[in-house]
Structure 1
Amino acid sequence: MAEEVLENCRIQLRDGLTEAVIKSLLDDLRAENVLGTEEIEEILQKTKTRTDQARDLIDSVKRKGRKASEILLKCLEKRDEHLYKSLNIDRHLAIQETGATSSHIPITTDKPKTTDDVYKMDSNPRGLCLIINNKNFENPKRERKGSQKDVDSLGKLFKKLGFLVEIKEDQTASEIKQLMIDYSKDARHADCFVCCVMSHGDETGVEGYDEQTCPLNDITSPFDGDNCTSLIGKPKVFFIQACRGHEMQSKVLVADGSSSSRIQKSGEISYSIAKDSDFLIAMSTVYGYLSIRDSYNGSWFIQSLCKHLEEGSTRDQDILSILTKVNNEVSRKEGIIKINNDEIDAKMTPQPSFSLTKLLVFRAPKAAASK
């Protein structure tokens, strides 16, 4: 029975359901007349944590019996196919229909099965996390209000994840370029390098304090295999919060339902890789469009990234799965901004690109995770 499947997968569902998916499921259950308005409001009380909301959602539906539980599982497959498949829901349902027991069937997770599938992430510190925040500019009217919120969120998160965090503020374009060269030669590199750059920007790159542009290639290329041998085979991660043009993305309505050559050297097997391997560059918006930042709460992209990365790191989720959730959440956000005294709808979608060769999973050191 479907309600028994919910019970068997209860803990994994409780831990795996995100806030966005919970709200979508509640909308579905309201439309299917499974839950009423008062029941949904009770689940979504502001004082409840995400875990409490997920637990109450599962229990409320399970109490209503088989049909309600079947509807929830069907909606889950639509709203979070990755979670649905990772829990082997179809297999559990099939076993229940045959009358067999599922109590001893292992529930799969999204954890990588072998160390060959995932980048090493156990040094302490994990590596360097450089945060560059350009808040003030030569033209004081271009101050990036709210950017300190992003700095605080990123700094707190990556310290928790075991990185040595260093913050640089109000850098010129040439200073940003030189910082990248200097950090590429840093002797403290370990398992991973993370760089967060937050500024104004356009189609060609990000702006310095002096309102000159630093091309994206000048930020990333110092860390390729030719220029930074200490990070060969290790992930280089760049989060870029900046506009990439002057257009605003339009709104559309969505209807429900919708290897390398091996060589021998000194008796050991090694292999060569392309110099641009192992990069992840996550841009806050797509080419040609504006990136949205709230003057009080920080930028849409960075705040969503910090939330989902913190949650995902506790469940061994890889960074691309996490960024997919970020894309989903940010693309659903709506706001109003003023451009030339005109109020327009604010919409955006982040855009990651990568040449990663393994799964990248950020894990907090055990001592930090237990605090």
Structure 2
Amino acid sequence: MDRLTLSRIDEDLDSSEVAELCFLCRDVVPRKRLEGIKDARELFLRLEEKGVLNDLFLKELLNTIHRADLLRVLETDSRPSNETVVTPVLSDYRKVLYRIYDDMTEENLGKLKFMLTDKVGKRQLETCQTALDVFAEMEKSDFISDTNVNLLHQILPELDHELANIIQRYTQGMRSTSLCKHMTPEQLSITETQPNVNRSIHTDAEPQPPSRPDQSEYYPLTHNPRGLCVVFNNEIFTGSELKDRGGTQKDADALDTLFTRLGFEVVIHNNLTAAAMLDEIRSISTRNFQNDDALVVCVLSHGERGCVFGTDGNKVHLEDLTFPFTSGRAPTLAGKPKLFFIQACQGDQYQKGFVPCTLRPGEEENERGLETDAGPPPEAVPSQADFLIGMATVEEYKSFRNTVTGSIYIQELCRQLMSSAESREMDDILAVLTRVNREVSKGDYLHSKQMPQPKYTLTKKLVLKYVT
């Protein structure tokens, strides 16, 4: 481009506008090459080095920062363009962040920095003069990216409704784009352009004649209260290298509200050591459950494969949580559902996302060998029968928790159980947990995935509804 034209544009841009342009160009020019730029001429040189300095890109930059007046300067440059056909465009991600910055008040900027202190760091945030500076620091710490704006999605509703709407619209568009991007052409043609009467999706949509459920297939829920719900909520860890679990109180509150409405007696234990957790479990197991229909135990803590941690950093094995409630140990619970929900990591690995491939019907089920669980139960209740263990993640992998809004798994679990409890449909707990699996697995958390895993030996259907 003509140097004189670029110089004229540079003269009309102040330092704050140059900083805005630098932020918008972070997808095109490496971050280190943008550091220390004081005027637009330096930025133009960096863009020229990358071979992306052209009229179209510069016009989009100027339009985004509301300097359409400078487009007239570009129009006076009548030189023919030598640029390649592939023209860089500003990503929707950059433009969305700019819109949030543009609409953010000083008061909301202060609140944003405060809410990010535990994540980004107080020292880094003190140097941030604008929301764009904050976003840049979040990107350095890998808290946001073009494919992951979950943290902003959770924080902005606390600040301003309009800001939340901006990120909400971007998230919806991102999910739609991601869905199309990860579909094979065959999948797109089947679901979108070839409505075939032989496809199972068509037959699933046909109305089914109403049928009266066989009550013998369901666990009876007749007592009030329905039973006991115990929540172990470990937030503050002492005497170990484990970090405190900010946001866990949101999970405890959500579980309290949910199971109270479902008719359970809720007891919450905060910040117990491993020994104290085991003592409490043993104490609960001696209870007479004759007038209880079910038992629910929720554990909110750190963990690794096959165990969770007490606040002292010592392990509590999952089998030590469930064994005291087996039929032989707690006979008044025999034949009754015992639900365990575990919000904790089960390893230190991060799950990646992969494009799905088509499996033959029944292939996955056969590999898991579920046939043995599907046979008719013997007359005597097996020791390990009637358990359901809802794990936040599969073994070896991490689970995720937001320090402001709570953990991904527990919050989705409560949402789905509440929705099911309010519905007229008789969806059982396994159908609900399948929806939890689906919704959690859709998300992108720090560029990783999370896959919850229910394990069960239930012998009947369990349907949870609000007690009126």
Could you tell me the percent identity over the aligned residues?
35
> Aligned pairs, how many?
261
Q: 261, 270, 280: which is aligned to 1:169?
A: 270
Could you tell me which residue of structure 1 aligns to residue 321 of structure 2?
219
More relative contact order, 1 or 2 (CA 8 Å, 6+ apart): 1
TM-score of the aligned structures, taking structure 1 as reference length: 0.65
How many angstroms does 1:346 deviate by?
A: 2.7
- Write the distance in 1 (CA, Å) between the matches of 2:193 and 2:260: 38
Tell me the SS of whatever aligns to 1:142.
coil
Q: For 2:279, what is the secondary structure of its paired residue?
A: helix
Partners of 2:308 and 2:194 lie apart in 1 by 44
For residue 251 of structure 1, the aligned residue among 353, 367, 375 is 353
Structure 1 residue aligned with 2:218:
118
Tell me, yes or no, if structure 1 residue 292 matches structure 2 residue 400: yes
Note the alpha carbon deviations across 1:336-363, whole angstroms, 9 max, x for none.
2xxxxxxxx1311001100000001112
Counterpart residue number, 2:386: 278
Asked whether the equivalents of residues 292 and 346 of structure 1 are also in contact (C-alpha less than 8 Å), the reply is no
| CA RMSD after TM alignment | 2.9
Match of 1:329 in 2: 439
Is the partner of 2:348 in helix, strand or coil?
strand
**Counterpart Cα distance in 2 of 1:141 and 1:183:** 27
Show the counterpart of 1:348.
450
1:47-69 superposed Cα distances (whole Å, 9 cap, x missing partner):
xxxxxxxxxxxxxxxxxxxxxxx
Q: CA contact under 8 A between 1:312 and 1:322: conserved in structure 2? A: yes
Partner Cα distance (1:173, 1:199) in 2: 11
* Structure 1 residue aligned with 2:251: 150
CA contact (8 A) 1:204 1:213 kept: no
Q: Within 5 Å, which residues of 2 pair with 1:231-270?
A: 231-254=333-356, 259-261=376-378
2:190 counterpart of 1:89: no
**Is there any run of 5+ residues in structure 1 with no aligned partner, and where?**
1-45, 47-69, 93-105, 262-270, 337-344
Instruction: Give 3-state SS (helix, strand or coil) of 1:346's partner.
Output: coil
Structure 2 contact 219–461 (Cα < 8 Å) conserved: yes
Matching residue within 415, 418, 427 for 1:310: 418
User: What do residues 291-320 of structure 1 show as CA deviations (whole Å, max 9, x unaligned)?
Assistant: 100111111100110001111123321000
Larger relative strand fraction: 1
Q: Which residues of 2 match residues 64-213 of structure 1 at below 5 A?
A: 89-90=205-206, 107-108=209-210, 113-138=213-238, 139=240, 142-187=243-288, 190-213=292-315
Counterparts of 2:398 and 2:270, CA distance in 1: 22
Q: Is the CA contact (8 Å cut-off) linking 1:173 and 1:209 kept in structure 2?
A: yes
5+ long unaligned stretches in structure 2: 1-167, 169-190, 361-375
Letter in 1 for 2:237: F
User: Which deviations, in whole Å up to 9, do the C-alpha atoms of 1:205-263 show, x marking residues without a partner?
Assistant: 000010000000110000001110110000000000000010001121347999244xx
Tell me how far apart the structure 1 counterparts of residues 307 and 214 of structure 2 sit (CA, whole Å).
Answer: 38
Task: Indicate the SS of the match to 1:120.
Answer: coil
